Each structure stands twice: as structure tokens, then as C-alpha cells.
Structure 1
Amino acid sequence: MIECLPLLSTDDVLRDIVNDVMEIRIREHAVMQRIAELDRRGAASELGYKNLAYVLRDAVRWDRTIAKRRIDHARLLASEVTPTGSELPPELPVTASAAAEGALSIEHVAAVAEAMKTLPADAEASVVDFAREHEPSSVRSFGKELAYRLYQDDPEPRDADPAPQVNDLTLHWRGDLLKVSGTLDKVTGAKFEALIDPLAKPRPTSEEGPDPRSRTERQGDAFAELVDLMLRADQMPEHGGEPVTLTLTMRYEDLAGQVGSATLDTRERIPADQIRQLACSAGIIPLVLGTQSQPLDVGRKARTFTAGIRRLLVIRDRGCAFPGCDRHPKHCDAHHIKHWADGGATSAENGVLLCRHHHTLIHHSGWTVKMANGIPVFSPPKWLDPDRRPRRNLINAF
């Protein structure tokens, strides 16, 4: 009998999908256990095949690369039996338990496994907890940030001097067109990206519709405009309410001792010995949380966030504050948590950085945001979590 879906609410349909996907993941885990059993038995040799990937290719019509990946993941999730008959736990026991519950997909398992290559075993629980609420790509980002957090105080390796970073640029005329290609070091590349980004924004939607240009076309036009702007350098555009600026975040003790690294808006890390070089050509704006030297609260006088408030939001949120999002600050809007029209102040305490997608989501969906202990936290709609347990962006928490 086919269920009459039109009689169900949208929330009920979505909740059913969530439950069905969990059941599918439980079955996928059972399949992985059987693959691990075939691997333990040496089934490929028994059946006359070169290896198990070829067996699975013929049995279930997987591409051999997919079959090999499934075998690798099955080995991570399955317990191992020693020649004496003792059973050893899986290589990733916490991941295996979550996958058996249906909380993780095969893609999640792959992301956790990738993250754990650079993390100690006791970090697995943290990565899996994050994976229970986020998509695989966010799990990879979380793993990278967690690894940096764990090892940031380790001494820098001194085995060999790093290769010098070289800037190169090639100009080649092809008829009436000049082909430009090159490579920039990390610092120069970050400065160039900060110049290009405000010029490469899509044009506002008009009667002709949205901007039809692709991202590469917009960046090409931005580069052409940048050339024109450099001919009249006193007319450089503003971005985020202030002249083009690079924001670097680092611990005060590292800055004073010229050790460690600073983090750009893009999450690229700049070694301390390059900060002085960057300061030669970029303005450095001191910012101490809670200082009276910045206009952190403009009350009811202004609806739009000032450059000073936005700088504080960048320091606090480090990009889109929505759980699992890794969009950089320059791609984010400042959002009033309590709407300005409803009496909300234009202040850091009532502001949060959101990328365009999540800004729209907060305004038009069941997701809500509020401040908790000075940190923005988000509550999902009931179809996603009936208890609406608060979540925060752990990728940017570092």
C-alpha cells in the first residue's frame, strides 16, 4: 500500500526521509561488515580473482576504484581476529559504533578516516561527534582545524629550510588578447585576492535578471577594473564598509615573541616572521576585545554595521557562524540577531556574520540564532531535531 504523502506535513515528510536514510546507513554498515569478512577469508583467491576489488566489481557492478575504497573503509570499521582467535577492536572504534547506529554514511566514514590520519586516537570521539551533525566536507575542515589546534605549540621543524616562495608572471599576446598567468606567494596572493574580491561581486539583480557572468568571468572583469583603478589609485573601492583591508588574528604573546603564526580571513596561516613584511604594505589595526578605542556599539542611531563593529565580528566569528560553514568573512553579511526594525541594536552583541546562503536561511526557515555566553548559537527546525538542541560553528571555534 502506498502512503498518501499529501496528507503528511512537510516536517513529517522530511522526518521520514531522515529516518529512512538512517536505516539505509545501517544496512550499508552491515554490507561493510560482510566485505570485511570476505577480506578476512581471502575470498578473492578462493574465487580465482586477483583481489577483492575485482570480485566486488563483478558482483555488484561497482567501479574498481569505488570497490577498493569500500574495502579500505570496511577494514577501518570491522574488528580483527588474530591467528589465536582473539578479537581486536576496529581501527576506528567510535566511528564504527556511530556507523552501526546509522548516524554516519560511508562518505562520513571516509572523511573521519582522512581527518584521523593527522590526529591522535583520543581525538576520534570529537571528530565523530562533529560528523553526527555535519556533512563530510565540513568534517574534513574540522579535522584540519583540530589538528592545527593540537599541534600549534609544537616547535617548528628545522630539518630543512623551506623552499623560497617565488612570484612569477607570464604575459603572452595571442593576436589581440593578452594571456596572463602566474603564481603568487601566500602573502601576496592574499593581498591580491582581497583587492579582486569586492570588484568580482555579482551585479545586483535588475530588470534583466541576475548577473549572467560566471565566477571566472567576473574575476576577469575585476582584474581589468583593477588595472584601471591602479591608474587612479586614490579611487580604490571599499569592501565591507571600509577600504580593502587584510585582517590577521594571532595571540598577543606570539606577536610579542615573533613566534607561531597569524591567521588570515581565508584561514591561511602566515608565519610570524612574515608579519613584519606584510605590515610594510598593509595597514595594521590593533584590536583588543572590549577596548574603548573601537566603536563597538552604535545603538539605535544606525541600521548598518560600522567598520569597527564588523572588525569585531570578524575577530569573533572568523567567517560565517552557521554550524559547519567555512565561508570566509569577506563573503559574509553582518546580520541583526534581533531585527533592527524590532528594536535590535546595531552592536557586536546583536550581530553575527552569515554568508549569503545562511543569511537567507535564517530569515526564511525554521533555523534561529541567539547569543549564548557571547557566542552565536543556532537551533535547527524540529524536522531536523525534535529537541532543537543548540549548535555552534566548531570549525571557526579555533
Structure 2
Amino acid sequence: MDTLTDGTASAALRDVVGELASYLDDVAADLFGKLTDADLLAELREFEMLRRRLAVIDHALVAELGRRALPGRLVMASTSALLQAALRLSPHEANQRVNAAEVCGPRWSLTGEQLDTLLPDVAAGQAAGVVSSEHARVIAATLEELPSTVDPSDVSAAERHLVTAATHLRPRQLGVLGQRILAQLNPDGVLGSDEQHARRRSFALIPEADGSYRALGRLTPACGALLQSWLTPRSAPRPAGDTGERTSAVAADARSYGQRMHDALEELAGLAVRRTELLDSGAPAQVLISMTVDQLGSREGWAETSFGQLLTVSQALQLADEAAISLLLRDARGVVLRHGRTKRVATRGQTLALIARDRGCSFPDCDKPPEWCQRHHIVAWADGGSTELDNLTLLCHSHHRNFETAGWRCQMQDGRPAWIPPAWIDPEQVPRRNHRTERSGFP
């Protein structure tokens, strides 16, 4: 149809496109190669903010298509179909854009009156460049799970809280936070009852024609937590031919994540989980569940595994009677009781307390789980540092090996590790935390 191709874009957009063409010429002339490291990172952040702000334009364009009923006038089945035809998009991408515009874009009534945006805080975050499209989808999906019985003011508060969290959390971490908020606002409908999980459980190994097997199934929270706790530490990357000695000459593990998980599962097929085993990573091969003292007494609420998954307290306590479980009690801030020791190597109890507190590598923005971490003395043992919780933290192998040469320092603040960046990253050297250690604080 000619209507799809014979129009002219606005002068404002043509001006922007002209400026963009000039910028692309600079990029082609090695603009980035001429920048300092700090300027290159600033360029990356500034461009990402621009990319996120462009979503606002996309929402407005898609919403305007609907306001004009243009798909129907062009004999298109839907706005998604029009986007697919006009922009050569896949159905999945077109549907995502339509859905995003519906919740974050402008709206009008049937009589043409302007309506409020369904998710105004998300839309404002995207306009400011601090909320990505992926963040927006996570927030929208989270709030969509809330029933209509939840007070609208609580829904708005949840949206604001998630938008604020999106400024420092990755989408997956934001999704975990969203599940915690759902558990508070809709405790009867978030995770499903134990009976529902039991009814839906299944697992099958399907032999293929080439001799391999395909796994298919759905695991209960307890079964999944047990299996993940065993597989994760044994699927960590390791140097090829690793003998336990550090050497830069040894090649990195060439296996993919899926291949490493398969190899760990193969090992599990021939072994039983040893209750007292403690791997070099510092994490035991068992399920680690943390809850508050109040939850233990009331038997109510949600407990949490070291992977950030939620279980009912009653289910967690039942699981603790049946398998190798470490139950870790914490206060409302997530700080674990002190377990002082004089040995250089952290004890099992200290290691479990570190896992409950740090929940993985404590370095800012690192998402490595505790099973991939090592126990690190903040004040080195050789310098008189003690092997106590207030002088220990978890670090993944990469950060454990490189943080000092990169100019970072660690110190304890309010019972939790905080990292001080070098001056070239932050002239004011404001301490930073890994936001995974922060509790939701909602509402």
C-alpha cells in the first residue's frame, strides 16, 4: 500500500537524523579510539540513556496509530500486523512494542480525551533514560500479576519502588525483587501452594534417535533447590587441566554454561550428596535457606535460598527435616550473628553466615552466586586480620584476583561489606555495595 511508504517524516526528526549522520561519520573516523578510558565509559553510559529515551518516542508513535484506527483503515488485522508490514518486524517484536505502548504510552478515551498512562513512573523513568525496555517489561509483568483486590495506592507504591530499584538492578535481579513484592501484596497467589506444585510436578528422560536423551519436566521448589544446590558449585568455570595452581598460561574453560551443567548432572548420576562436603569455592553442597528469627517462631512468611528463590517457611522447615539443609537465621537487615574464630580458614559456620549475608560475590554489580566464590580477608591474614565475620566477605575468583590491582578497597559498614572505588572512577570515592545484599524495604 502506498500509504505505508509515500509519506514524509517531520522536519524535527530529519534534523535529528542529520545530526546522527554526522556522529556516525565521527564514529567511522575512530572517535572512540581517541577517547580516554573514563571518557569511553561516559560515552557508553550517555548513549545507553539515549537508547532508553527513544522508547518514549516509540510508545507515542504506536499509540497514535491506534488513536487514528490506522490499522483498520489500512485493512490490517491489528497494530502489530501494521508494524510487521511497515517495519519488517517479527510478530514477537511487534507484539512487544504494542504491549509496551499500551502500558507506558499516551492513552485516549473513545471520545478523544487524554487519559493517564497506565504506568506513569515507568514512562517517566524511560523518558529520563534510567529505565530500559527490559526493565519496563519486568515491572509491567510483575504488576500484571496483582489481583484487582490490591489497593491501587499499593500498586502505585510498588511501581515507584521497582522503578527506583531499576536504576541499580539488572532485569533479572529486578524480577526477583518483584516476586518479593508480590509475596507481600498477594501472599496467597504468588508462588502457588505446595499442593499446586505437587500436582504439576513431572520429569521425563526421552531417548532420541541418535542415542542422546532429552530432559523434560517441571520441578517442585524443593526438588529444584536441591538439584540447583548440587549442580551450581560443580558447574563453575575452571581452567582446562586445572591442578589447583594459579597460572595465566592455562587456557580458560572452553565449555559453555549448558555443557558445564550437563557435566555436573552426569557426576550427580553416580554420586550421593555428602552432608559435610566443603568445596574449594567455600560453599557446601547443600541447600542454604535463610529466614528471620520472627519467621522461625511464627512459621509464617517466605524463606529464601542462596539463589534468591522463595519458599514458604513451613515448606523450608519440612525440607530441613528431610535433606542436607543449612538454616541460617538473620535479623531484619540481613545481618547474621557473629561467629568469631581464630583460624585462618573460615569455618563451616562462618562460611554459611557469609553466604546468608553476602548472597554471592560482594563486589558491586557482580552477580556470581556464593557457590562460585572464595572467602576473602578484608584485612589480610598476613597483616594481622582475623578470621571473623566482620573481616570476611565472599568474592568470585575474578574479583578476588583483580580488585587490588584495579585500585578498589573493601571496608565493613553496618555489618556488611562496602567497596571504595579508585579516584579515577569516583573522585569522591563514595563506598558502594552490591545491591543484591540489600533487602527490598517494601513497602
Q: Please give the TM-score of this superposition, normalised by the length of structure 1.
A: 0.78
Q: Determine the structure 1 residue equivalent to 2:278.
A: 238
Is 2:380 the partner of 1:346? no
User: Which of residues 173, 176, 189 is equivalent to 1:141?
Assistant: 176
Unaligned runs of 5+ in 2: 1-24, 147-154, 242-248
Question: Any idea what SS the aligned residue of 1:49 has?
Answer: coil
User: Which of residues 31, 40, 48 is equivalent to 1:13?
Assistant: 40
List per-residue Cα deviations over 1:177-214 (Å, max 9, x = no partner): 79696865433443344344444444444466334444
Amino acid corresponding to residue 210 of structure 1 in structure 2: A
Q: Determine the structure 2 residue equivalent to 1:297.
A: 340
Alignment partners' CA distance in 1, 2:120 and 2:375: 41
Question: C-alpha displacement at 1:269, in angstroms?
Answer: 3.3
Amino acid corresponding to residue 339 of structure 2 in structure 1: L
Q: Please give the TM-score of this superposition, normalised by the length of structure 2.
A: 0.71
Alignment partners' CA distance in 2, 1:201 and 1:368: 26
State the Cα RMSD in Å. 4.2
Q: How has the CA–CA distance of structure 1 residues 306 and 259 changed in structure 2, closer, same or farther, with 3 Å as cutoff?
A: same
Q: Determine the structure 1 residue equivalent to 2:125.
A: 98
**Residue pairs, 1:1-398, within 5 angstroms:** 2=26, 4-83=31-110, 86-118=113-145, 120-152=155-187, 161-162=195-196, 164=198, 185-206=220-241, 209-226=251-268, 229-230=271-272, 237-239=277-279, 240-241=281-282, 244-275=285-316, 277-282=318-323, 296-298=339-341, 302=344, 304-322=345-363, 327-341=368-382, 343-356=384-397, 359=400, 362-363=403-404, 365=406, 369-378=410-419, 390-398=431-439
Alignment partners' CA distance in 1, 2:91 and 2:312: 42
Amino acid corresponding to residue 296 of structure 1 in structure 2: H
Q: Which segment drifts farther, 215-224 or 244-253?
A: 215-224
Contact 1:36 1:75 in 2 (8 A): yes
Alignment partners' CA distance in 1, 2:53 and 2:59: 10
Amino acid corresponding to residue 61 of structure 2 in structure 1: R
Question: C-alpha displacement at 1:147, in angstroms?
Answer: 2.3
* RCO comparison, higher one (Cα < 8 Å, 6+): 1
Question: Any idea what SS the aligned residue of 1:247 has?
Answer: strand
Alignment partners' CA distance in 2, 1:169 and 1:58: 41
Q: How has the CA–CA distance of structure 1 residues 40 and 159 changed in structure 2, closer, same or farther, with 3 Å as cutoff?
A: same
Question: Any idea what SS the aligned residue of 1:238 has?
Answer: coil
Contact 1:295 1:308 in 2 (8 A): no
Alignment partners' CA distance in 2, 1:47 and 1:167: 47
Alignment partners' CA distance in 2, 1:389 and 1:334: 24
Contact 1:94 1:124 in 2 (8 A): yes
Question: C-alpha displacement at 1:382, in angstroms?
Answer: 7.4
Question: C-alpha displacement at 1:41, in angstroms?
Answer: 1.4
Q: Which segment drifts farther, 69-78 or 358-367?
A: 358-367
Unaligned runs of 5+ in 1: none
Alignment partners' CA distance in 1, 2:207 and 2:108: 65
Alignment partners' CA distance in 1, 2:96 and 2:86: 16
Q: How has the CA–CA distance of structure 1 residues 250 and 53 changed in structure 2, closer, same or farther, with 3 Å as cutoff?
A: same
Alignment partners' CA distance in 2, 1:375 and 1:262: 20
Q: Determine the structure 1 residue equivalent to 2:21.
A: none
Question: Any idea what SS the aligned residue of 1:35 has?
Answer: helix
Contact 1:247 1:265 in 2 (8 A): yes
Contact 1:167 1:182 in 2 (8 A): no
Question: C-alpha displacement at 1:131, in angstroms?
Answer: 1.4
Percentage of pairs with the same residue: 29
Question: Any idea what SS the aligned residue of 1:143 has?
Answer: helix
List per-residue Cα deviations over 1:345-378 (Å, max 9, x = no partner): 3322222233445556645546654432223344
Contact 1:241 1:306 in 2 (8 A): no
List per-residue Cα deviations over 1:239-282 (Å, max 9, x = no partner): 35576333222233333343334322233333344445433443
Alignment partners' CA distance in 1, 2:330 and 2:143: 34
List per-residue Cα deviations over 1:325-358 (Å, max 9, x = no partner): 5543223333333444555433222222334455
Alignment partners' CA distance in 1, 2:94 and 2:191: 38
User: Number of residue pairs matched?
Assistant: 391
Contact 1:377 1:391 in 2 (8 A): yes
Question: C-alpha displacement at 1:221, in angstroms?
Answer: 4.4
Question: C-alpha displacement at 1:128, in angstroms?
Answer: 1.0
